[in-house]
Amino acid sequence: MNVISVVTKPFPGQKPGTSGLRKKVKLFSQPGYLESFVQSIFDNLPDRQGKTLVLGGDGRYFNDVAIQIILRMAAAAGFGRVLVGQNGILSTPAASAVIRKRGAFGGIILSASHNPGGADGDFGIKYNLGNGGPANEGFTDAVYQRTQDISVYRQVAAEDIDLGRLGETRIGEMPVSVIDPVADYAALLESLFDFGRIANLLARPGFRMRFDAMHAVNGPYAHAILEDRLGAPAGTVVNGTPLPDFGGGHPDPNPVYAADLVAALADPKSGLSFGAASDGDGDRNMIVGRGFIVSPSDSLAVLAANHQLIPAYALGLAGVARSMPTSCALDRVAAELGIACYETPTGWKYFGNLLDAGKATLCGEESAGTGSNHVREKDGLWAVLYWLNIVAVREQPVEQIVREHWRRFGRNVYARHDYEGLQTAQAETLFAELRQKLPALAGSIVAGTRIKAADDFCYIDPVDGSRSERQGVRVILEDGSRIVFRMSGTGTEGATVRLYLERYEPDPARHEIPAGEALVSLAALAEKVARIAEISGRKVPDVIS
């Protein structure tokens, strides 16, 4: 086997964020840029020799090129085998499922999740451990340190392989198995849910659903599971062909970027009663009823409250977990169930220890990610099937299920305001000022409202004792309302500042008040505290969800 050592250099800014390294395609396609980062991953895997690596991505632009490069580098690094999804496709939850089922050493997932694709769009890469979950901070920090002094990467001299043909081939001495990207994942989901009952629901007169794959990775999975296995009519899945630029769209399942789906469910003439969408790599979801959008935080709480209806979870939940910015609706369900509710930083990797230790069964984030202990990633189609299973058993529409949940537990009125593409210096100034104010905020009165507590969230992992600091600034009011400020780690240009607003409303008579109206005073208080408009020049957020 002809291993070639290629001289390279450190590239600035190769520090992984909450979900790996995400940059513009133009950066990744520079000679040596991807290779240097991949070599830095491999250099931190001393036990890789002879082991199995899983590889695939969301099909975005540069995905096919990157896979061929990584295959040649994996052969040079001494891996015993690589399992790669056909045509380079593997959704993020499917990759986790394959790693776990096949007992793989780990996996490389190529995705920038919900970020735009195409030649001028974004690309991403992350490493997942043998449990199927994202690498922890200790590993990603070590990778970043290696990128700062790397001088050479290694690859074998080999031609590209045919990723479209299932079966085994070789690169150098290393076998490469091109696998069906759907099979293992679909079998896993079928073991969790009552597929017979869901199939009956989809065949019921008067029930019609639409799944918008947003020209992203979940198209083939939705076609195979919803239409082929469960018998949903052809055409149930729309925008189901993965495209390198996601059809020119933004593959983020929210009311702004999935507006067509929301409009269709709001139109009585459409005949639709259930809608769903997923993102670029298939790990996020949006659930829409007839004229009713389910917030991600409410969705997580509803799934937990109805766990007994789902075969895989009917015997009970060990515990639940949510990211800190996610609303406290889940906490109220956990309290009634008598189980623990863990509050973690944003990033699915923080749930891994809880899941592996058997402390949590369901997990979720306000950014439309929900999942369980079946894999170690959030899972968009899993959430859709969970909802369909609930609807099938309860024989109620989505809106009724959520409103009954509110009557039972109260409503956590919630919104996220995104300020995208800010100058990094502006965002740093905003957070520096916030942190300076923290000692004086607790007990103070701002805009006529008393602040009970204020801090910069610090998480101590209950399993391994690791400590994660500066995970978001929290301002908690006397009535329990919360304001959270956080810098997102998923953007590729400038900085994205996220403002989270939450107010608990136990009175059913007030559940009809629109979230924007119910949270207007909190938004005003947030501006007083953080001066977002003054510092950024943005009078309104770019996205409200």
Query: Which residues, in sequence order, are bridge partners of residue 456?
Result: 473
pLDDT at 492: 57
Q: What is the mean pLDDT of residues 240-257?
A: 93
pLDDT band of residue 491 (cuts 50, 70, 90) is: low
Residue 512's CB is within 10 A of a number of other CB atoms, namely 9
User: What is the rounded distance in angstroms from the CA atom of residue 451 to the CA atom of residue 438?
Assistant: 11
**What tokens were used for 302?**
């509803």
User: pLDDT band for position 490 (50/70/90)?
Assistant: low
Q: pLDDT band for position 544 (50/70/90)?
A: confident
Q: Give the model's pLDDT for residue 237.
A: 98
> What are the residues facing 341 on neighbouring strands?
320
Which pTM does this prediction carry?
0.94
For residues 90 and 375, give the distance between their C-alpha atoms in angstroms, rounded to a whole number: 14
Angstrom distance (rounded) from CA 417 to CA 266? 23
- How open is the CA angle 191-199-370, to the nearest 5 degrees? 55
Query: Which helix (H) or strand (E) is 435 found in, with range?
Result: helix 424-441
* The two three-digit tokens of residue 40, written as one number: 């830095």
Distance of CA 209 to the CA centre of its chain: 23
Write out pLDDT tens, residues 307-335.
999 999 999 999 999 999 999 999 999 99
Taken in order of first residue, the domains within the chain and their CATH numbers are 3-180 (3.40.120.10), 185-409 (3.40.120.10), 411-544 (3.30.310.50)
Dihedral of alpha carbons 323, 474, 541, 14, sign: negative
Reported residue count of the chain is 545
Whether the Cβ atoms of residue 313 and residue 361 lie closer than 8 Å to each other = yes
Q: What is the mean pLDDT of the chain?
A: 95
Query: Given this model, what pLDDT does residue 447 score?
Result: 79
> Above 80 in pLDDT, residue 1?
no
Residue 493 has pLDDT above 70, yes or no: no
CA dihedral 367, 217, 276, 415 (to 10 degrees): 10
Q: Would you name the residues annotated as active-site residues?
A: 113
Range list of H helices, 103-243:
137-147, 183-192, 195-203, 218-222
Q: How many other C-beta atoms can be found within 10 angstroms of the C-beta atom of residue 94?
A: 33
Q: Which residues contact 540 (CB under 8 A, 6 or more apart)?
A: none
- pLDDT, residue 77, reads 97
Question: What was the pLDDT predicted at 449?
Answer: 85
- The greatest distance separating any two alpha carbons of the chain, rounded to the nearest whole angstrom, comes to 73
With CA atoms as reference, report the closest residue to 230 among 204, 262, 265. Answer: 204
Q: Which of 14, 127, 123, 140 is nearest to 58 (CA)?
A: 123
* CA–CA dist 291, 272 (Å, integer): 10
For residues 383-389, give the mean pLDDT: 98
Flag the least confident range among 94-98, 297-301, 487-491.
487-491
In the chain, what percentage of residues exceed pLDDT 70?
Answer: 99
Tokens of 485: 């400020």
Distance CA 326, CA 311 (A): 26
CB count in 10 Å sphere of residue 30: 12
The secondary element (H helix, E strand) that includes residue 439 is helix 424-441
Q: Which two tokens stand for residue 33?
A: 């840029």
What is the mean pLDDT of the segment spanning 89-98? 98
pLDDT digits (tens, 9 = 90+) for 58-70: 999 999 999 999 9
